[in-house]
Amino acid sequence: MFTAFIVCASVTALSAVVSLGFSLAAAMNETGNARTIALYGCARSVALVVASAVPFFTGSTEWLEAIAWIMILVQAGDAVIGATIDDRMKTFGPASASLANLLALLWLIQSVQ
């Protein structure tokens, strides 16, 4: 179970950090209303990074499962947006991250039972 926990926590945290990186890049490169929206995205991304760090300090499987599901949904949503704007990189990157996180989470859930 320990390995599944570490893998799931790592994939989840990496996903949150990458999401924050894209939010920061948008905030630094945009102006006007687009920058304001990007800053809101940054605020949410910082919260997700902090929340994804909690399992490393607490060992809470329940917390990890919750934040993993959240990041799966965030990345799946990002993939839908990427598909909507017809950008392959912004579609397949988040979709791959979402799938990797889902597989890690399913491994964790199976190892806990």
- Give 102-112 pLDDT, tens digit per residue: 999 999 999 99
pLDDT value, residue 1:
85
Non-local (6+) Cβ contacts of 101 within 8 A are: 8, 11, 12, 15, 68, 71, 72, 75
**Does residue 91 have a pLDDT over 90?**
yes
Rounded to whole angstroms, the Cα distance separating 78 from 97 reads 10
113 pLDDT higher than 90: no
* Rounded Cα distance, 44 and 84, in Å: 22
Residue pointed to by tokens 């909507």: 84
Closest CA to 30 of 38, 18, 22: 38
Q: Which residues contact 109 (CB under 8 A, 6 or more apart)?
A: 65
Q: What is the pLDDT of residues 25-70, one digit of tens each?
A: 999 999 999 999 999 999 999 999 999 999 999 999 999 999 999 9
